Amino acid sequence: MTELSGAWVAVWRRNFLVWRKLAGESITGNIIEPLLYLLGFGFGFGAMLPEVDGVRYIAYLAGGTICYSTMLAASFEALYSGFSRMHVQRTWEGILNAPVSLEDVVFAEWIWAASKSFLSGIAVLLVAIALGLGQSWTMLLIVPLAFLVGLTFSGLGLIMTALAKSYDFFMYWFSLVLTPMMLFSGVFYPLANMPPWLQATANALPLAHSIALGRPLLLGRWPQAPLVHIAVLAAYAIAGYWIALVLLRRRLTT
Amino acid sequence: MTVLAARGIRKSYGGREVVAGIDLDLARGECYGLLGPNGAGKTTTLRMLLGLVRPDAGEISLLGFPVPKAAREGRMRVGVVPQVDNLDPDFTVRENLVVYGRYFGLREREVAARIPALLDFAALQARAGSRIQELSGGMKRRLVLARALVNDPELIFMDEPTTGLDPQARHQMWEKLRVLLRQGRTILLTTHFMDEAERLCDRLKVIDHGRSLAEGSPAALIAEHIEPEVVEVYGEGVAEWLEAEGRALAVRAELHGETAFCYLRDAGPAVASLRNRPELRFMHRRANLEDVFLKLTGREMRE
């Protein structure tokens, strides 16, 4: 039984209005860090390495950087900012007293965190293009990809938010899930260099599938089995949203 | 005409019945109070009436809409003043109103047309552009009230609207509530302050442990449950005085710690007796709603 209505747009617009007021800080934070990694590793390691996967190391790194920075932006928004709105500021409580359902609120949060991370992903894409790392029109397909990656990690992040008692809980998600995923999904080095069990684990998780799409698209190549990767990301996104909704209903309306 | 009706609503959490069969009927234009100690089930009752929590049993009609099935339609014409201020700290006073109006499907232009009257009502005309952090506690409370009026509600839920306010701000808040009642709106109020309930409510219900203990107008409840006069006695020797003289002069008397409460039809003889005991301090007053509340719900602390 769905209770979703058009009211979710009003909730999304509320978050957007807050973001607009703090856009400078937000965009700076979202761009500077990935940019530093990209330049530092790209030029630092790049100088020592021959080509990776047939391209300069910094070009290899850029596709992965777009994906993981989108992942991190969606996660921060769904976890810390979402928890703040749900629990600390009691923003949801105020909204739910109006004719807005919990499903409207959760759906809006899902789309919002994806939207915000989408902007981060696009910002890093523009930096990559400015550095001359984009190779062909296929990089434009990273635009919809960034939104899908945002939905995936925003949906998964909302599960953590639904379970959290305090901000400290989120350390588990970052330390045990996101950071390992970032290190072992082929952002910085080819996944093929990893032991088989690690490759299998990475391939079961969404970041590797994001990179399997994002990197070739930036380098002007066509991804292998794109529909499989899209399906995995969409499945994580929808399952994440749905589980979060069930948990939040249990937490807030029973 | 009934604005809000509930029949036998119940809710349990983990086997503990928090609301154990409550009936309610609010007539248009009245101020109805829901009183009870902490944990009596007030907030859960309000959340069920708004359709935010699904009752285990019972029926609810909110402005004619069945709840929780059509709670959203019902809430279109309801305003809510929550117990804890949940204004948006990132927004100005004006933005808080505009953004909240959107949740009711109101367009920016419609809300903009209402804002001057809302700010005027909340005495915040000069504060439209202020950030929430810059407002005093009383101002925030008035803004929460103005926000609850953004959709021109017929019925307003107020969950402890004056908790934490200083006397000036409380009186100002009461004045606002009277204006709303004069405009023909209906108010459902929960409060811990018996003087507040006595001043504002046409009718009220006392609940405890999820059950209704009494219902009626403040004056009727006082007349029904309590003798008209009360003498409170404090000081060394109060227990001795109570046993020697007080108990015989009062209809009912209780000793709690160092204080004796004597409930009487005529306080004359008790006051005369106390004038001969200069070591005892006493206060002679009319019975009030707090006496009724304490009689019905007991004096033990609630956590």
The answer to whether residue A3 sits within a structural domain is: no
What is the residue-averaged pLDDT of chain A?
94
pLDDT of residue A28: 83
Find out whether the peptide bond into B68 is cis, omega within 30 degrees of 0.
Answer: yes
**Tokens at residue A65, please?**
């950087």
Q: What is the pLDDT averaged over residues B297-303?
A: 77
Return d(Cα A224, Cα A241) in angstroms, integer. 27
For residue A233, name the pLDDT band (cuts at 50, 70, 90). Answer: very high
CB B158 within 8 A of CB B149: no
User: Residue A184 is encoded by which pair of tokens?
Assistant: 């072992």
Stretch among A68-82, A109-123, B7-21, B241-255 having the lowest mean pLDDT: B241-255
| Residue A231, domain member (yes or no) | yes
Expressed as residue numbers, the domain containing A127 is 8-18+25-253
Query: For A222, which DSSP code?
Result: P
pLDDT attached to residue A166: 96
Mean pLDDT of chain B: 93
Which residue of chain B is at minimal alpha-carbon distance from A16?
A: B99
Unique residue bearing structure tokens 């109570």: B242
How many other CB atoms are found less than 10 A from the CB of residue A52?
A: 17
pLDDT of residue B257: 86
B77 touches chain A (CB under 8 A): no
State pLDDT tens for residues B23-67: 999 999 999 999 998 888 999 999 999 999 999 999 999 999 999
CB contact under 8 A, A5 and B84: no
Task: For residue A234, give the 3-state DSSP assignment.
Answer: helix
The answer to whether the Cβ–Cβ distance between B73 and A99 falls below 8 Å is yes
What would the mean pLDDT of A71-94 be, rounded to a whole number? 96
Task: Quote the CA–CA distance of A186 and A212 in Å, as a whole number.
Answer: 9
Q: Mean of the pLDDT values across residues A208-218?
A: 97
In order of start, what are the domains of chain B with their CATH numbers? 2-217 (3.40.50.300), 227-286 (3.30.70)
pLDDT of residue B38: 86
Who among B72, B73, B86 is closest to A90 (CB)?
B86
In a domain, A55, yes or no: yes
State the pTM of this model: 0.93
Whether A232 maps to a domain, the answer reads: yes
| Residues A17, B82: C-beta atoms closer than 8 Å | no
Structural domain total, chain A: 1
Q: Which of A116-120, B90-94, B181-185, B253-257 has the lowest mean pLDDT?
A: B253-257
| Interface residue of B19, B56, B73, B90 to substitute, partner A, most A CBs within 10 Å | B90
Q: Do A14 and B99 touch (CB under 8 A)?
A: yes
3-state secondary structure of A52: strand
How high is the pLDDT of residue A186?
92
B86 with A18: Cβ contact below 8 A: no
Contact B214, B205 (CB under 8 A): yes
Of chain B residues 136-155, which have a CB less than 8 A from chain A?
A: 147, 151
Nearest by CB to A10, from B52, B103, B147: name it: B103
ipTM over 0.95? The verdict is: no
Q: How many angstroms separate the CA atoms of A80 and A26, rounded? A: 14
> How many C-beta neighbours within 10 Å does residue A83 have?
22
DSSP string, chain B: -EEEEEEEEEEEETTEEEEEEEEEEEETT-EEEEE--TTSSHHHHHHHHTTSS--SEEEEEETTEEETTTHHHHHTTEEEE-SS----TTSBHHHHHHHHHHTTT--HHHHHHHHHHHHHHTT-GGGTT-BGGGS-HHHHHHHHHHHHTTT--SEEEEESTTTT--HHHHHHHHHHHHHHHHTT-EEEEEES-HHHHHHH-SEEEEEETTEEEEEE-HHHHHHHHS-SEEEEEESTTHHHHIIIIIHHHSSEEEEETTEEEEEES--HHHHHHHHT-TT-EEEEEE--HHHHHHHHH-SS---
| Model pLDDT, residue A1 | 57
Give the HSE-up count for residue B193: Cα atoms under 13 Å, Cβ half-sphere: 17
pLDDT digits (tens, 9 = 90+) for B100-127: 999 999 998 999 999 999 999 999 999 9
pLDDT of res. B16: 92
What is the pLDDT, as a whole number, of residue A30?
76
In this model, does residue A149 exceed pLDDT 90? Answer: yes
Q: Which pLDDT value is given to residue B156?
A: 98
Question: Which of B77, B81, B84, B57 lies closest to B68 in space, CA to CA?
Answer: B57
Position B120 scores a pLDDT of 95
**b/e per residue, B239-272, with b = 16+ CB within 10 A?**
eebbeebbeebbeebebeeeebbbbbeebeebee
The pLDDT score that the predictor gives to residue A24 is 86
CA distance B117 to B77: 18
Q: Around Cβ B278, how many Cβ atoms within 10 Å?
A: 8
A50-57 contact pairs (CB < 8 A, 24+) = A52/A189, A52/A190, A53/A190, A55/A219
- Alpha carbons B12 and A54: distance in angstroms, whole number: 65
Phi, psi of A56 (to 5 degrees): -60, 150
Per-residue pLDDT averaged across A145-168, rounded? 98
pLDDT at B161 over 60: yes
Q: Who wins on pLDDT, A95 or B164?
A: A95
Which residue of chain B comes nearest to A102, CA vs CA? B52
* Phi, psi angle pair for B105, to nearest 5°: 75, 15
Contact A93 B86 (CB under 8 A): yes
- Are the beta carbons of A223 and A230 closer than 8 angstroms? no
Has residue A1 been placed in a domain? no
- A→B interface, C-beta within 8 Å: 3, 5-7, 10-11, 13-14, 17-18, 21-22, 89-91, 93-101, 253-254
Contact check, Cβ <8 Å, A98/B151: yes
* pLDDT of amino acid A254: 78
pLDDT at B303: 62
* Mean pLDDT, range B205-212, rounded to an integer: 94
What would the pLDDT profile of A19-40 be if each residue is shown by its tens digit?
999 888 888 877 888 889 889 9
In a domain, A69, yes or no: yes
Question: Residue A113: inside a domain, yes or no?
Answer: yes
DSSP string, A58-79: HHHHHHHHHHHHHHHHHHHIII
The label of the residue with tokens 């009711």 reads B104
Query: Regarding beta strands B2-13 and B16-27, do their DSSP bridges make them parallel or antiparallel, or are they unpaired?
Result: antiparallel
- A2: pLDDT strictly greater than 80: no
Instruction: Determine, for residues A253 and B52 on separate chains, whether the beta-carbon distance falls below 8 Å.
Output: yes
pLDDT at B301 over 80: no
Domain annotation covers residue A2:
no
